[in-house]
Chain A
Amino acid sequence: MSQIGRATVAFEAVPTSLFEEFVRGYGERAFQFAYRICGSADEARELVQAAFTRLWERWGEHDPARSLEAWFFRILRSVAVDAVRRRERRRSVSLDALVEGGDGEDTYADLVPGREDALLEALERRGRQEAVRRALAAVSVEHRAILVLCDVEGRTYEDIARALTVPLGTVRSRVSRARLAFRRALSGETEVTP
């Protein structure tokens, strides 16, 4: 024999349509970001799928007072960077490790001295895309993520600080170090002579 219960269940309707709207509004941007970070359409697909899955699983945790977009891109960035870092871990000497050590007051004079003109010229030439792509792939995934956020997506430091959950001053120094790392890699790729 069964006992019978009376249950009063109060619940908030789950805004499924908002999620769908978000997928349509931000899916493409998420895919582009992931692709730029990992360099492969197949891996980008997996990363985007993983990030949206995590978003949906935590849908009920979202505080509507905060930006859903910022929250999602924080998830996406951490999913992408973690995955790519795991894949790339075996790469022992990355070019940017050389720059990574000197934090803060790098004067650019001691970085690729005398190469700015040659680099500038190389960048302006046609057909440099492959060198740029390889240089981007050569820097650490953290540098890559910040270059994409800052230079490609044109996000403000405040935006990036929110996505990385770090202070504004940290974003500023990370952006400059990412640029230096990229420049070093590019200078290797374009093989300009001093």
Chain B
Amino acid sequence: MSCPSFETLSAYADREASPAETALLAAHAPACPACSRMLALIAAERRSLSALPVPSMPPDLTASLLALTARRPWWETLLSELRAGFAQPTGAVAAAALAVVAVLVWGRREPPPAAVAELEVPVEVLMAAHRRYALSMPLTPPESAPPPAQLQVAGLAAERDVY
């Protein structure tokens, strides 16, 4: 057998050669000074790369990464705005003028919702949240993945407050 290509030898050194290549090389390499030297060199290069010193991660970087969760994703912001709207005193006008069902659907998967909140919300708050949501959507969805979420308005009925 003649010596294999460097690519085959390199894959063999990583235990990633095909079974046929592996069988051939296992028989050939020990008796071939050139291939043995090449395999020894690959192993030495691997050791020398692994031995390069690397500093540890600065502790304040961990803290700064953990703080990322304080930047809430848009759907949480939407929810909190809806809640804030709910918290406003609405008086006797809460005659259920409007029913909106907003369902957040995550990508392709549609698991049972983990929580359901029923809220009474001024229309302005809903509209503001919706506008913000619309603006936050990418104009062109990424090719590989569907848009992160869809906001579906399932039912909408409105009536003017007569006071």
A residues within 8 Å of B by Cβ?
1-14, 16, 19-20, 23-24, 27-28, 31-32, 35-36, 41, 45, 48-49, 52-53, 56-61, 63-64, 104-109, 111, 116-117, 119-120, 123-124, 128-129, 132-133, 136, 147-148, 150-152, 156-157, 172-173, 175-176, 179-180, 182-183, 186
CA gap between A183 and B41 in the complex, in Å: 9
CA gap between A45 and B54 in the complex, in Å: 13
Contact pattern, B 112-146, Cβ under 8 Å of A = 1, otherwise 0:
01111111111111100000000000000000010
Main secondary structure of the interface of A (DSSP, over half): helix
CA gap between A7 and B46 in the complex, in Å: 60
Whether A107 contacts B3 in the complex (CB less than 8 A), given A120-B41, A132-B48, A179-B42, comes out as: yes
CA gap between A167 and B90 in the complex, in Å: 60
Q: List 15 A-B contacts (CB under 8 A).
A: A1-B161, A7-B117, A7-B119, A8-B102, A14-B72, A20-B66, A27-B57, A56-B73, A63-B108, A120-B44, A124-B44, A136-B52, A150-B14, A151-B50, A182-B49
Q: A175 near B14 (CB under 8 angstroms)?
A: yes
Q: How many residues of B contact A (CB 8 A)?
A: 86
CA gap between A121 and B10 in the complex, in Å: 20
Q: A10 near B116 (CB under 8 angstroms)?
A: yes
Q: A9 near B82 (CB under 8 angstroms)?
A: yes
Q: Report the tally of A-B residue pairs with Cβ distances under 8 A.
A: 244
A3 partner, pick from B14, B58, B116, B161, beta carbons under 8 A: B161
The closest CB in chain A to the CB of B11 belongs to A172
Residue from A45, A105, A148, A172 having most chain B Cβ neighbours under 10 A: A172
Q: Which A residues are in CB contact (< 8 Å) with B11?
A: 157, 172, 175-176
Whether A105 contacts B5 in the complex (CB less than 8 A), given A49-B65, A61-B107, comes out as: yes
Please provide the chain B residues from 2 to 32 with a CB less than 8 Å away from any CB of chain A in the complex: 3, 5-7, 9-11, 14, 16
Q: Which B residues are in CB contact (< 8 Å) with A147?
A: 49
How far, in Å, is B163 (CB) from chain A's closest CB? 6
The closest CB in chain B to the CB of A157 belongs to B16
Q: B56 near A28 (CB under 8 angstroms)?
A: yes
Q: A6 near B49 (CB under 8 angstroms)?
A: no
Q: Which B residues are in CB contact (< 8 Å) with A32?
A: 54, 57
Q: A129 near B104 (CB under 8 angstroms)?
A: no
B149 close to chain A: CB less than 8 A = yes
Q: A180 near B6 (CB under 8 angstroms)?
A: yes
Q: A61 near B45 (CB under 8 angstroms)?
A: no
